[in-house]
Amino acid sequence: MKYYIEKITNYTFDQAVEKVTDELKKEGFGVLTQIDIHDKLKEKLDVDFRKYRILGACNPPAAYQALQAEDKIGTMLPCNVIVQETLDKKVEVAAVNPIASMMAVENQKLATIAEDITSRLERVIAAV
């Protein structure tokens, strides 16, 4: 099982970030954080890196359920979604696969939550 769900888009980088954000909202997610890896690596290491943005997405009801089921699950929250420019100048969108990441946590209550969130993220990626 892959630890991510991915798709190459026909959008520009900025369009893909906007589209992903909109599709996340439709599935009940908010974007809590955005990390622009290109800018951070330039600032910290003075290197030029391709366009790469990490969106920290959260579905509050699911996060609440997960935290009630497993108090250390916050180490795996929020759900990260990336938009990146590939080496051949295409734009890829990828999201963590919660089912794969939750396999390490032996808590059956999380399995149902992970399945729901994975389905939502799969719909987000498919819609981009």
Predicted pLDDT of residue 103:
84
CA distances from 55 to 8, 27, 101, 117 (A): 17, 15, 17, 15
Three-class secondary structure of residue 104 per DSSP: coil
**C-beta separation of 52 from 85 below 8 A:** yes
Whole-number Å distance between alpha carbons of 4 and 15: 21
Predicted pLDDT of residue 101:
86
Predicted pLDDT of residue 102:
86
Q: What is the mean pLDDT of each run of 10 residues along the chain (128 residues)?
A: 95 98 98 98 98 98 96 94 96 96 87 95 98
Model confidence pLDDT, tens digit, residues 59-78: 999 999 999 999 999 999 99
**C-beta separation of 13 from 6 below 8 A:** no
- Bridge partners for 82 per DSSP: 54, 94
Predicted pLDDT of residue 106:
85
